[in-house]
């Protein structure tokens, strides 16, 4: 099946822990993105990458980190510096200047 | 940064009715897309439409880039059309989303 796979679907984090969310795509897309969605809100851009080994901060990058070592993978780490990490996290990919396709999301809860 | 405003914020329709959703944006863009988010959170891409008009079944979209707005038309609405509709825009690949229009279609 072609598409974008995010894992896990649900994730629970203790205060002070770092956690990593996985995003893998087999669409051969160059660009990948991470968004955060809070209840009843739109999506806010965390980080994006237009090419392997390069990425840029979005509007709410503080407390998050990413890597882009492979074209098909763009993992997001939520660090302990992120003070309010409970949210729905969505990963997307696209060709340059093309339609973006989203994964099914990861719901992160701090316990 | 670029500002995106969607209207109306909420819309309730009877099945079979038509509707128009609007997206205004504050700067010139090369990328504009419409998405539908279902109740389980999945985002489905409806249109990539930085300019012009496109149609896909009961849905169509028009973007007037010079006037910085886009419209999404839904005709003969069905209960399965319920959910949140988002407009996302950007100068390039990095899109910013509006707050969405929550559509409820009643049988």
Render pLDDT for A42-80 as a digit per residue (tens, 0 to 9). Answer: 999 999 999 999 999 999 999 999 999 999 999 999 998
- Close Cβ partners of A97 (under 8 Å, ≥ 6 residues apart): B30, B31, B92, B93
Cross-chain residue pair A100–B41, CB shorter than 8 Å: no
CB–CB of A100/A1 below 8 Å?
no
Site from B4, B6, B43 to mutate, A interface, most A CB atoms within 10 angstroms? B43
Residue A111, pLDDT > 90, answer no
Chain A CB contacts of B42 under 8 Å are: 102, 104-105
Of A104, A23, A7, A1, give the one whose Cα is nearest residue A70: A23
Cross-chain residue pair B41–A58, CB shorter than 8 Å: no
Hey, is the C-beta of A34 within 8 angstroms of any chain B C-beta? no
Residue of A nearest to B33 (CA): A99
**Mean pLDDT calculated for residue range B68-93:** 96
Hey, is the C-beta of B45 within 8 angstroms of any chain A C-beta? yes
pLDDT of residue A59: 95
**Mean pLDDT calculated for residue range B41-60:** 97
pLDDT of residue A1: 55
Per the prediction, chain B carries an average pLDDT of: 96
> Residue B97 pairs with which residues in a beta bridge?
B88
Residue of B nearest to A29 (CA): B93
Give A59 to chain B, closest Cα distance, Å.
9
Q: End-to-end alpha-carbon separation of chain B, Å? A: 40
CB–CB of A25/A3 below 8 Å?
yes
The burial of B102, by beta-carbon neighbours within 10 Å (0-12 exposed, 13-18 middle, 19 or more buried), is given as: middle
Question: What does the alpha-carbon distance between residue A48 and residue B8 come to, in Å, rounded to a whole number?
Answer: 29
Each residue's pLDDT tens digit, A82-103 = 889 999 999 999 998 789 999 9
Report CA-CA distances (Å) from A84 to A63, B44, B101: 9, 27, 25
pLDDT of residue A97: 79
Hey, is the C-beta of B1 within 8 angstroms of any chain A C-beta? yes
pLDDT of residue B103: 97
The 3-class secondary structure across A44-82, one letter per residue, is EEEEEEEECCEEEECCCCCCEEECCCECCECCEEECCCC
Residue of A nearest to B1 (CA): A59
Residue A2, pLDDT > 70, answer no
Q: Which residue has the higher pLDDT, B56 or B93?
A: B56
> Residue A92 pairs with which residues in a beta bridge?
A33, A102
Secondary structure class of B50 (helix, strand, coil): coil
**Mean pLDDT calculated for residue range A4-25:** 95
**Mean pLDDT calculated for residue range A24-34:** 96
């Amino acid at each position: 099946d072609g598409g974008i796979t995010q894992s896990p679907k649900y994730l629970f984090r203790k205060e002070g822990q770092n956690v990593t969310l996985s995003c893998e795509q087999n669409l051969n897309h160059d660009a990948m993105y991470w968004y955060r969605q809070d209840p009843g809100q739109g999506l806010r851009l965390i980080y994006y990458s237009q090419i392997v080994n390069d990425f840029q901060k979005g509007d709410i990058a503080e407390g998050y980190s990413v890597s882009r070592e492979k074209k098909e993978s763009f993992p997001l780490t939520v660090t302990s510096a992120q003070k309010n990490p409970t949210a729905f996290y969505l990963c997307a990919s696209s060709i340059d200047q093309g339609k973006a396709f989203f994964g099914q999301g990861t719901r992160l809860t701090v316990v | 940064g670029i500002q995106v405003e969607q209207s109306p914020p909420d819309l309730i329709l009877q099945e079979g009715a038509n509707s128009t959703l609007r997206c205004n944006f504050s700067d010139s863009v090369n990328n504009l897309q419409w998405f539908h988010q279902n109740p389980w959170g999945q985002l489905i891409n409806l249109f990539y439409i930085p300019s012009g008009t496109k149609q896909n079944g009961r849905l169509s979209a028009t973007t007037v880039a010079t006037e910085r707005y886009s419209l999404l038309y839904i005709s003969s609405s069905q209960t399965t059309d319920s959910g949140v509709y988002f407009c996302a825009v950007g100068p390039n690949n990095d899109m910013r989303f509006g707050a969405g229009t929550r559509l409820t279609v009643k049988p």
